[in-house]
Amino acid sequence: MDGGQYNPRTVEEVFRDFKGRRAGMIKALTTDVEEFYQQCDPEKENLCLYGFPNEQWEVNLPAEEVPPELPEPALGINFARDGMQEKDWLSLVAVHSDAWLLSVAFYFGARFGFDKGDRKRLFNMINDLPTIFEVVTGAAKKQSKEKSSVSNSSNKSKSSSKGGRVSESGKYSKPVQAKDEEEVVDEEDEEEHGDTLCGACGENYAADEFWICCDMCEKWFHGKCVKITPARAEHIKQYKCPSCSNKRARP
């Protein structure tokens, strides 16, 4: 484990540590879900899912030292894998992952003497992000749909006719426009997608980034998170995200 190698001491550092670990765990449960599934073999001993500050993840045995240097994640996640629906199992792991992330963040807060104001600020920063559970189950996406149901209908009208809807400040089909008109389009694009969250990393939409929508689950993703470039998207007739591709491939 990486427990003693990195000790954040300020609210900003603890939040950065939280975001890195969170991004790694979201990756395990979304874009890397096939590999994560395979590693959680029920025949193995008690396994835990760890997220690291560098946005990487690992399935491993718990720390041997007692008490451990950092709070430990949920033990034995692999045992439940084959006893329930995959989506329910992933949701269960996500809930425990959220609890672990909070425990690590506030462990650092206690260790380095955060006062009431620091703890409140840290929680508010964390609370502004959707939970891993919300990202994995699509609840964050549903909440944003409820907030902007009108704009969502207009999003669909702007869909690419080839499937695999894309969104960025310069859509492929956008005609040449005057500078002022382009700025208005960018502002409208930001308003329409403002509450949209990436299905892989959970971050908010930004108009200057390339996004693509899965035609199966209708979740939006940063192109960089699912390794799709605008040029490659031009040749995709129907885009399936890694999670949907894996679901169809697994018997």
Quickly state the pLDDT bin for 172 (edges 50, 70, 90): very low
Q: How far apart are CA 106 and CA 14, in angstroms?
A: 9
pLDDT confidence band for 94 (50 / 70 / 90): very high
Amino acid at position 147, single letter: K
> What does the DSSP 8-state code read for residue 242?
H
pLDDT at 33 over 60: yes
Q: State pTM to two decimals.
A: 0.60
Task: Decide: 31 and 62 in contact? Cβ < 8 Å.
Answer: no
Nearest-angstrom CA–CA distance, 78 and 43: 8
The runs of H, that is alpha helices, within 128-235 are 132-137, 139-147, 149-157, 179-193, 230-233
Over residues 141-166, the pLDDT tens digits come to 666 665 555 444 444 444 443 445 55
